[in-house]
């Protein structure tokens, strides 16, 4: 039987798979640390009790997170960059910001500005991938709006995208020039 992996080994394995936020890594490591503390307590190695075992587990996890950060294995900046890169082609600013907020990480102003500048193009591409035709009625327009809102695009951008799609679908009515 294999010996159990240490918290540091587990953390490095998680980070090798993909970038993790400190909050996410803490959440993943804490049950393992508590299990180790509970096993030590049951074996009679611990003396204080269950509450101190939880506190000890949390302290061990924090120590591992500090070590990972000090050795540049864990980085909030890299996490934000990778999460934005992975989500930008499919989601809008609101959804990306909300996801980063769940991880207790803020979006840097430079990245926020870049996302804002590209939101119209990203929304247009997402709409075009999902819907082959521009909206041809109020019901279809509402359907496409709900889809884009669910993806986290702002209402102003959604209106611009749908207006752009509708105007691109209408053939121009300019008279053709004749060459004589």
Per-residue pLDDT reduced to its tens digit, 133-142? 888 889 999 9
The mean-pLDDT minimum among 26-30, 98-102, 157-161, 174-178 falls in 174-178
Flag whether 179 is in a domain.
no
- Per the structure block, which two tokens stand in for 22? 């400190």
Flag whether 59 is in a domain.
yes
Q: Which of 115, 51, 121, 47 is nearest to 83 (CA)?
A: 115
The DSSP result for 73-108, as a single string, is: SS-HHHHHHHHHHHHTTT--HHHHHHHHHHTT-PPP
Cα gap 166→91, rounded to integer Å: 22
Give the end of a domain, one of 19, 54, 74. 74
Flag whether 14 is in a domain.
yes
Cα gap 51→136, rounded to integer Å: 63
**Total length of the chain:** 180
Q: Please tell me whether residues 66 and 86 are part of one structural domain.
A: no
Kindly report, residue by residue over 2-37, the tens digit of the pLDDT.
777 889 999 999 999 999 999 999 999 999 888 877
Question: For residue 48, what pLDDT is reported?
Answer: 54
Q: Please tell me whether residues 96 and 47 are part of one structural domain.
A: no
Q: Please tell me whether residues 114 and 61 are part of one structural domain.
A: no
Rounded to 5°, angle at Cα 179 from 173 and 180: 135
Q: Which domain holds residue 18?
A: 7-74
Local structure of residue 61 (DSSP, 8 states):
H
- Per the structure block, which two tokens stand in for 66? 């500090």
Flag whether 137 is in a domain.
yes
Flag whether 177 is in a domain.
no
Q: Please tell me whether residues 128 and 164 are part of one structural domain.
A: yes
Give the end of a domain, one of 22, 41, 74. 74
For the entire predicted model, the pTM comes to 0.77
Cα gap 60→26, rounded to integer Å: 10
Number of domains in the chain: 2
Q: Please tell me whether residues 137 and 126 are part of one structural domain.
A: yes
Flag whether 180 is in a domain.
no
Other Cβ atoms less than 10 A from the Cβ of 117: the count is 9
């Amino acid at each position: 039987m294999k010996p159990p992996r240490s918290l540091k080994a587990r953390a490095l394995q998680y980070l090798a798979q993909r970038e993790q936020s400190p909050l996410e890594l803490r959440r993943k490591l804490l049950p393992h640390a508590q299990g180790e503390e509970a096993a030590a307590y049951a074996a009679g190695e611990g003396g204080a009790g269950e509450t101190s075992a939880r506190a000890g587990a949390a302290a061990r996890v924090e120590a591992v997170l500090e070590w990972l950060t000090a050795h540049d294995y864990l980085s909030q900046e890299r996490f934000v960059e990778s999460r934005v890169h992975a989500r930008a082609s499919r989601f809008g600013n609101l959804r990306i910001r909300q996801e980063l907020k769940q991880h207790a990480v803020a979006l840097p102003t430079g990245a926020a500005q870049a996302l804002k500048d590209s939101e119209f193009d990203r929304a247009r591409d997402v709409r075009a991938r999902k819907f082959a035709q521009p909206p041809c009625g109020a019901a279809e327009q509402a359907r496409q709006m709900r889809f884009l809102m669910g993806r986290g695009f702002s209402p102003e951008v959604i209106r611009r995208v749908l207006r752009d799609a509708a105007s691109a679908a209408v053939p121009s009515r300019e008279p053709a020039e004749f060459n004589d």
